[in-house]
Amino acid sequence: MVFRKHTIFPEEFPEAWASDWGEDEYGLWMAFTYKDVRQVFRWCEPGTFLMGSPNDEPERDDDELQHEVTLTKGFWIADTPVTQALWTAVMGEDDQNPSPHFPGDDRPVENVSWDDAQAFIDTMNGLKAELKLCLPTEAQWEYACRAGTTTPFSWGDQIDSSLVNFKANRPYFNGRNSEYRKHTINVKALPCNNWGLYQMHGNVFEWCQDWYGEYPLTPVTDPRGPQSWVGRVLRGGSWFLSGRFCRSASRHRFAPSIRRVNYGFRLSR
């Protein structure tokens, strides 16, 4: 087994809130457990990467201008999207499960807006303030999704339904048809990327913290998007859309109050 080698470590490890922690082939991790529901967070150390897509990437969009991004601070990101079990544990049984279409404790919570995600985060931080939870920035999200890769997907130039839950009868750029499931699946049902993160591609779109905006023409450090706009960023594609939307560089945006059956979110710290 080849372990991922970190060169920059978190200031504190483990932190007092962690129910368990360790190091494996994907790197450092800590878990938070509440009402028997466990969420693992993975350490992403500072680094520089190319955000966006090169001009010759098939099926790219015009808003994916490739540019250099430096993240000066490491961060922790959840290894899965928020599940329905975690949502119910935190928000309470009286708060109706927002995901009636595809119920399941280990399926991602969906049909949630950016505003809903913020309410969940506020509630969870209220339970334990030292968690310091938030949504990832768009740059953090893509950095974690790519996990050191530069190809359209973290697995390379192509995907199918053995790797990603998407509308696989509409494959990416000359790909082959594979199973179109027509629903969400359990958050760990498919392989993780090189940093131990599950379903950064497909299953549900994931809200990011940023307002949507144009990318800069020059290298940037710790970008956080524009101060305001009409839509918040979503990333990752979903079970409902074709392969091109699952690419690491693909961007989507919608008003923060909008709920859709393929919108979920992932926690960051």
Residue 11 lies in a domain: no
Q: What is the DSSP secondary-structure string of 40-95?
A: EEEEE--EEEEESB-TTSTT--TT-B-EEEEE-S-EEEESSPPBHHHHHHHH-TTS
Retrieve residue 68's tokens. Answer: 């250099």
Q: How confident is the model over 20-68, as pLDDT tens digits?
A: 999 999 999 999 999 999 999 999 999 999 999 999 999 999 999 999 9
What's the pLDDT at 98?
Answer: 87
Cis peptide before 14 (omega within 30 of 0): yes
Asked whether residue 1 is domain-assigned, the answer is no
CATH for 259: 3.90.1580.10
DSSP state string for 216-241: PSS-EES----S--S-EEEES--TTS
Residues 6+ apart with CB under 8 A from 49: 68, 69, 142, 143, 146, 148
Element (H, E) at 30: strand 27-34
**Residue 228 included in any domain:** yes
The reported pTM is 0.96
Residue 192 dihedral angles phi and psi, to the nearest 5°: -90, 170
Residue 170 maps to a domain: yes
Question: Locate tokens 């994931």: which residue?
Answer: 206
To which residue do tokens 């074709």 refer?
242
Q: Which residues constitute the domain of residue 66?
A: 20-265
Q: How many domains does the chain have?
A: 1
151 strand-pairing partners:
none
Pairing mode, if any, of strands 205-211 and 263-265? parallel
pLDDT in tens, 195-253: 999 999 999 999 999 999 999 999 999 999 998 888 999 999 999 999 999 999 999 99
